[in-house]
Amino acid sequence: MTTAARLYTEADRLALLQSTRLLDSEGSAAFDALARMAARQTGCPVAAINLVDAHRLFALARHGLSQRHLGREGSFCDRALASTDVYIATLPPQDSAEIVWRFYAGMAIVVEGMPLGTVYVMDREPRAFDTDARAALRDTALAAASLIQAELTALRFRRQEARVRTASMAGSDWLWETDKDGCIQWVSSGLLRHTGIDPMAELGMQASDFYSPRTDATQASWERYLQACKRREPFSDAIAERDTPRGRIAVSISGTPVFDSRGQFMGYRGASRNVTRQLAIDNQVRQDEQLLRQAFDSFHAGVMIANPQGRVIYANKHWRTRTGIQDISTLPPWPELLRQRIARGHYRDAVGREDDFYQWRLNVVNGTEPVVLHMGDLVALCRDVRLPDGSIAYFSTDITHAYNDRKNLHAQKEALAQSEERWKFALEGNGDGVWDWEIGRAEVFLAPRWKSMIGFANDEIGNLPNEWVSRVHPDDRQQVFSSFIDYCHTGRGIFHAEFRMRHKDGHYVWILSRGKVVQHAPDGRPQRIVGTHSDITVLKQAERALRDKQIAEAANRAKSEFLSRMSHEVRTPLNAIRGFTQLLVQRQPAGEASSDSAEYLHQIQLSTELLSELVDDVLDLQQIEAGAIRISREAVPLDDAVRQCTAMLAPLASRYQVLIDDQVDASVRVWADKLRLQQVLSNLMSNAIKYNRTHGVVRLSLSPAHAAGQHTLCVEDTGPGLKAEQLARLFQPFERLGQDTSQIEGTGLGLIITRSLTEAMGGQLEIRSQTGAGTRVYVTLPVADDGQEMTDNKDTAPIGAPITANTTAEPTQASATTHACTADAPLRVVYVEDNRINALLFQEALRPYPELWLEVAEDGQMALTVAREHQPEVLVIDAHLPGMSGFEVLKALRTLPGLADVPAYMCSADALPEDIQRAHEEGFVGYWTKPIDIEHVTAELLRLAHQGRPDAA
């Protein structure tokens, strides 16, 4: 028996079996025919088609067998179910006489990759089962599987059809499908529900047979629909009308073309819906807007509105007639229009004081009383009102005929006030909820928008003050209503309050409430207040997000400043420790090279280098976390980067007795930051060297990339490898996986920085390791296409600039007109440094070299004095000096004769990229980060000395 590996679970198999709905069914005649055919073709007296349930066998069809239900456990069918071919079982005659059937041959019925049952034959005597019989049983099993699959497909189709029908009935749409000639082939039952039309009545018809375009503004949508059909393109929201048993309705039609696998157009599928009510509502809205404009035009007062930017957005008929301006779309902003009208003499009161009048007129909105304006022969009573969104409404009433009649003036003011009040109610269209309260009354007017702002319909809450008071947040209630009561007593200015109100759903919304006294009692007391509510929840959320962002940025700045200061304070004493240690090692007698003191010095050197590396890594990590690492990407030959790192790490590999095997193809180029890529490779290769075994190998090769457009570099070592729990802790800061006390130096930050730099260059870093099999690190970077140019941060990125920490200018060949410096004519170096220990270190470092002459200045003024006396040829300047910064000192020195082009080096404990970039921009040719490398510094100065000076010097 051949048993196949199961790619399914028993639960999956039983679920599929149940979904066929064939268990305990009568089955079809086709299954019975298959059973008879199996018996006939194999010559066996018994044949059956069994479905195998969890604990039983059900005979879907049988021939020569009366039983329909048998137990599954230990049965031949159960074994055949697990076989991938015909399963045959034969019992010899001498076995128990109780056994009736001594021959069995069965084949699994496989549907959708899972065996649901068997086709089998049996005989009372053992018998041979030749190749033809086996083939017949296989064919029968295949035919049975096809029948079951057909039953299952039909059942699923009926379920899907029922779902579509139910969905169509639940919504407001009905679905349809046409052939390539536009004839309807199918319509969902939703048509009957939504229109009363039998879907069968539309089969074979075209849309033009019962749809007709409307004669209103929607007619253009029907034209677009016809054009889309001609081009066989999708269309949406085509509006047309049709007759139904329920009357004539408007329908919105949307559809998409259907193409077969060869691209042949097959017709359209789409959806339609009854939009009669929606169109009626839209039409009503337009009518209401027209009525509102007609109402404004009927006012016996001019009304003009300018938005917060001063642009005139509305003017009623009275205002346009009085000003002679019919088209407001071409008007300049109101302040500019006002100045033009003043210049043209429209305002009699402005003559001779145009500027003062202009300022006064713009400030009328800030007053509390109407003003009288003389505009030509017209006398107008004007009132400007600032609306909640910052717009200004300008009301003006013609009082020319009543100007000299003081008794009529009060009536004119009342008319203006009524116009203002009508306008305030019109504010509902701007999203603000109006409230109006006559002080002392038990009712307050709350507009529908006021109520909907907190989730209520107009009839769900009354017009009682408590509807407002009870919904204010308990934490805001005391302050809000104390200030409101004070305003009701004084009536001065504008009432303004921000607070939270409980929504109908239970949550709170932020409200901006503003109000103004519009009517006073005869004794001057405030009598009536009108105001608005505005929903400012979104604004409050934005303010909260901005505050959180500012707090996070402030914390990040504080951390950056602390780390920068910490770096400076640590590097300064570290400079002396490392420098003097280097000097002691250099000057140690040859015979003491293996003494204890030599070992102590070596340990001090390693410790200072490790501490310096730790400070650098902490600063790099902080820059990465702050998002301040900027990348300047270019096309970089990967083999060059690997070769440079290999050369740099050769001494380390030699010390650990590890071979570096470079297998990188010379034709590979990646899109990366060159210096950051070298930093990534240097870290990975140094780790592979240090954590390798003696006589181990570090292999660099290209691996297949995860996706097109990428190169993947594999850095592989032959070390002891890592456990799964060690890999899980690998990218935790300062985590060295138990190597803290080993002889292998490190900070535990390198891999975190390496992964971040790789991702910043658009790449990925993946580590795979197994105990005893070494570690592989995969670095994936984008491919650099031929001719690809640098595009990232060309002008601002400090990375890749010609000056970096502990770098110097490129050496140049001495010309024929120069001669090297000697003890008699040494290279003159001035070092500006206020720390005496650092100055002493520099002096001691240069003392063995007679061709170098050094003078130390403690501040900028002393540096200028020394420079005037000795004409230095090299300047070395600290960044932080008393009185003047290092940059200011260099600028002052450059003004002295002969010092404009003298090479200058900054020697500082500041090590951030922006510090180095600034030094380059200020004219320094090199940057030596403390703690300095004595050998590097002296080598650079000796290079300048040997390079020589012109003979004229």
Helices and strands per DSSP (H, E), number in the chain: 26, 36
d(CA 376, CA 383): 18
| CB of 745 closer than 8 Å to CB of 610 | yes
What mean pLDDT do residues 312-337 have? 88
178-209 per-position pLDDT tens digit: 999 999 999 988 899 888 999 999 999 999 99
More confident residue, 13 or 760: 13
Any bridge partners for residue 636, and if so which? 670
751-798 per-position pLDDT tens digit: 777 787 888 888 888 888 888 888 898 989 998 875 555 444 433 333
What mean pLDDT do residues 841-870 have? 89
Any bridge partners for residue 877, and if so which? 832, 906
* Preceding omega of 199 cis (within 30 degrees of 0): no
212-252 per-position pLDDT tens digit: 999 988 999 999 999 999 999 999 999 999 999 999 999 99
d(CA 376, CA 347): 6
Mean pLDDT of the chain: 82
650-678 per-position pLDDT tens digit: 888 888 899 999 888 888 888 988 878 88
pTM of the model: 0.34
pLDDT at 509: 92
Q: CB atoms < 10 A from the CB of 563, how many?
A: 18
Q: What's the Cα-to-Cα distance from 229 to each of 207, 217, 239, 275, 713, rounded to whole Å?
A: 11, 21, 15, 22, 54
486-521 per-position pLDDT tens digit: 888 888 888 989 999 999 999 999 999 998 888 888
pLDDT at 542: 84
**Which DSSP string do the residues of 837-877 spell out, in sequence order?**
HHHHHHHHHHTT-TTEEEEEESSHHHHHHHHHHH--SEEEE
Side chain identity, residue 189? S
d(CA 280, CA 871): 94
Handedness of CA 466, 468, 474, 475 (dihedral sign): negative
pLDDT at 828: 92
What mean pLDDT do residues 561-568 have? 57
**In the predicted model, is pLDDT for residue 162 greater than 80?**
no
pLDDT at 585: 67
Express as a percent the part of the chain with pLDDT over 70.
79
pLDDT at 887: 93
Question: Looking at the chain, how many residues does it have?
Answer: 953
Band of pLDDT at residue 816, cut at 50, 70 and 90: very low
User: 196: number of CA atoms within 13 Å, CB side?
Assistant: 8
Candidate from 54-63, 225-234, 247-256, 717-726 with smallest mean pLDDT: 717-726
285-296 per-position pLDDT tens digit: 888 777 777 777
Q: What's the Cα-to-Cα distance from 700 to each of 191, 646, 667, 772, rounded to whole Å?
A: 69, 10, 15, 19
pLDDT at 437: 87
What mean pLDDT do residues 324-346 have? 89
Three-state DSSP class for 782? strand
Q: What's the Cα-to-Cα distance from 112 to each of 9, 151, 636, rounded to whole Å?
A: 13, 13, 52
Both structure tokens of 356: 């003062």
Q: What's the Cα-to-Cα distance from 63 to each of 37, 50, 121, rounded to whole Å?
A: 9, 12, 9
Three-state DSSP class for 921? helix
Both structure tokens of 287: 């009518």
pLDDT at 587: 67
pLDDT at 449: 87
Question: Which phi and psi (to 5°) does residue 171 adopt?
Answer: -90, -170
pLDDT at 572: 61
**In the predicted model, is pLDDT for residue 95 greater than 70?**
no
pLDDT at 794: 38
Question: Which phi and psi (to 5°) does residue 536 adopt?
Answer: -115, 25
391-447 per-position pLDDT tens digit: 999 888 888 877 756 545 566 666 666 655 655 555 555 568 888 888 888 888 888
User: H-helix or E-strand containing 410?
Assistant: helix 406-426
d(CA 922, CA 918): 6
**In the predicted model, is pLDDT for residue 12 greater than 70?**
yes
Alpha-helical segments (H) within 58-189: 76-81, 131-170
Band of pLDDT at residue 804, cut at 50, 70 and 90: very low
Three-state DSSP class for 615? helix
3-class SS string, 1-59: CCECCCCCCHHHHHHHHHHHCCCCCCCCHHHHHHHHHHHHHHCCCEEEEEEECCCEEEE
Look at residues 201, 263, 261, 202 and name the one whose alpha carbon lies nearest to residue 232. Answer: 263
Both structure tokens of 210: 């019962």
Q: What's the Cα-to-Cα distance from 891 to each of 239, 485, 827, 874, 918, rounded to whole Å?
A: 77, 66, 22, 15, 13
pLDDT at 348: 86
